[in-house]
């Protein structure tokens, strides 16, 4: 049995011009709507997107902020050997952003997960604490040094194990212990004293993510207590996120828990960025209109809550079109239908999610922008 659309889902569809007689869509670019409130709107861009002219035109029209989807990661910069540097992809994304005056974010200097460390590094390890520190400091310096235009870095990504709330055991922590995180932040601050440095993670809002949230909070508290230069908390915003994989509502109870978590982060004096917004629609209904409406409703609820925080300075989606979403291949639907995780469909037509983002931005309180 199909359930009726909620009022919010109906409004999202009307906003996207999908309902007969619905309101005309507002074509102001999302970054323009964001800027009116002191925010920036942007997207991740990867190699596939860079080769797609229609897509690039859309990115240029909608976005004022950009982040490389993979190109700054260690596995992309040094896939095969300790001494090689493959800058070409990252350079092209940096040039695209510079040509259009876009705010470029950097992702990420230390992805503290062995799944995403290159094989050569895992094979050879980093040696002693001092050797590890030398290696990591040099890495951070080199990457930051090449991109002085980047004013916001995800210095450390996903270092908390969702299952335990403790720091993950990795090739980096085997050399440096938990200090790896602190070393990365201090090196980044030295290399780019003006840059806003972020810890970034994917903890979700549901009860199954309580340990993840608590672990992240403990980490942030520890870093602040030790005077580590950290300025921003990156909320990835993959919905439904966390490891439960089946959250399709943002219930009042979950919203209370999530607010309590964000309040604590705010209490530490950190700014907020939504760094990787998308909706994993694996378990949503097959019908595209219904699927889009539910996804848009989730995004709207999440953004409404987050935009209430004046500390939230940027909203970036992890891909602007379903054509270039990582979720197509990472978590295909059991029915094999193409996924619809982003604001634009595969033909670059705006979906209900695009209207939901626009409406949320229009309704957001003003804040002091990042300079």
Measured from each CB, the residue nearest to ligand XIL is: 326
Q: Does 172 bind ligand XIL (CB under 6 A)?
A: no
Question: x/- contact string, 26-55, with ligand XIL (CB under 6 A)?
Answer: --------------------x---------
- Three-state DSSP at 167 gives strand
SS3 6: coil
**Minimum Å distance from CB 86 to ligand XIL?**
15
Which one of 172, 261, 309, 326 is in contact with ligand XIL (CB under 6 A)? 326
Site string for ligand XIL, 271-310 (x = CB under 6 A): -----x----------------------------------
Phi-psi region of 359 (alpha: psi -120 to 50; beta: other; left: phi over 0): alpha
Which of positions 338-357 make contact with ligand XIL (CB under 6 A)? none
Q: Does position 70 bind ligand XIL by CB under 6 A?
A: yes
Q: In this structure, what token pair is assigned to residue 154?
A: 């995800």
Q: Does 157 bind ligand XIL (CB under 6 A)?
A: yes
What is the C-alpha to C-alpha distance for residues 299 and 259, in angstroms, rounded to an integer? 16
Residue closer to ligand XIL by CB (options 66, 355) is 66
Q: How many residues bind ligand XIL (CB under 6 A)?
A: 8
Question: Number of helices and strands (H, E) in the chain?
Answer: 15, 9
Strands 40-45 and 65-68: parallel
Helix (H) / strand (E) containing 202: none
CB of 27 to ligand XIL, least distance (A): 28
Q: How far is CA 225 from the centre of its chain?
A: 25
Closest contact distance (angstroms) between CB of 278 and ligand XIL is 9
Tokens 């359930």 identify what position? 3
Of 11, 46, 56, 15, give the one whose Cα is nearest residue 33: 15
Residues at the interface with ligand XIL (CB under 6 A): 46, 69-70, 157, 202, 236, 276, 326
């Amino acid at each position: 049995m199909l359930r009726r659309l909620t009022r919010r889902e109906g409004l999202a569809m009307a906003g996207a011009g999908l309902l007969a007689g619905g309101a005309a869509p507002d074509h102001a670019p999302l970054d323009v709507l964001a800027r009116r409130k002191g925010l920036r709107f942007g997207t991740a861009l990867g190699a596939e997107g860079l080769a797609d002219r229609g897509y690039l035109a859309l990115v240029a029209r909608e976005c004022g902020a950009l982040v490389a989807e993979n190109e700054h990661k260690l596995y992309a910069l040094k896939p095969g050997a300790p001494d090689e540097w493959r800058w070409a992809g990252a350079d092209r994304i940096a040039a695209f952003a510079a040509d259009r005056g876009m705010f470029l974010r950097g992702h990420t200097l230390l992805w503290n997960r062995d799944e995403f460390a290159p094989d050569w590094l895992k094979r050879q390890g980093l040696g002693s604490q001092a050797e590890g520190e030398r290696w990591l400091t040099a890495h951070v310096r080199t990457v930051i040094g090449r991109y002085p235009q980047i004013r916001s870095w995800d210095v450390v990504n996903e270092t908390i194990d969702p299952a335990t709330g403790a720091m993950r055991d990795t090739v980096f922590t085997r050399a440096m212990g938990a200090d790896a995180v602190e070393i990365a932040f201090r090196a980044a601050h030295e290399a780019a004293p003006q840059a806003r440095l972020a810890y970034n993670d994917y903890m979700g809002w549901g009860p199954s993510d309580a340990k993840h949230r608590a672990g992240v909070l403990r980490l942030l508290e520890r870093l602040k207590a030790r005077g580590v230069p950290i300025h921003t908390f990156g909320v990835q915003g993959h919905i439904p996120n966390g490891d439960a994989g089946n959250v399709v509502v943002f219930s009042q109870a979950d919203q209370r828990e999530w607010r309590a978590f964000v309040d604590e982060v705010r209490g530490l004096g950190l700014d907020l960025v939504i760094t990787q917004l998308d909706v994993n629609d694996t378990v949503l209904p097959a019908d595209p209109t219904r699927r889009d409406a539910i996804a848009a409703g989730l995004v709207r609820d999440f953004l409404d809550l987050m935009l209430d925080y004046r500390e939230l300075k940027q909203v970036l989606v992890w891909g602007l079109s379903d054509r270039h979403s990582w979720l197509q291949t990472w978590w295909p639907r059991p029915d094999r239908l193409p996924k619809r995780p982003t604001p634009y469909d595969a033909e670059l037509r705006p979906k209900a999610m695009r209207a939901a983002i626009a409406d949320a931005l229009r309704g957001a309180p003003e804040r002091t922008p990042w300079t």
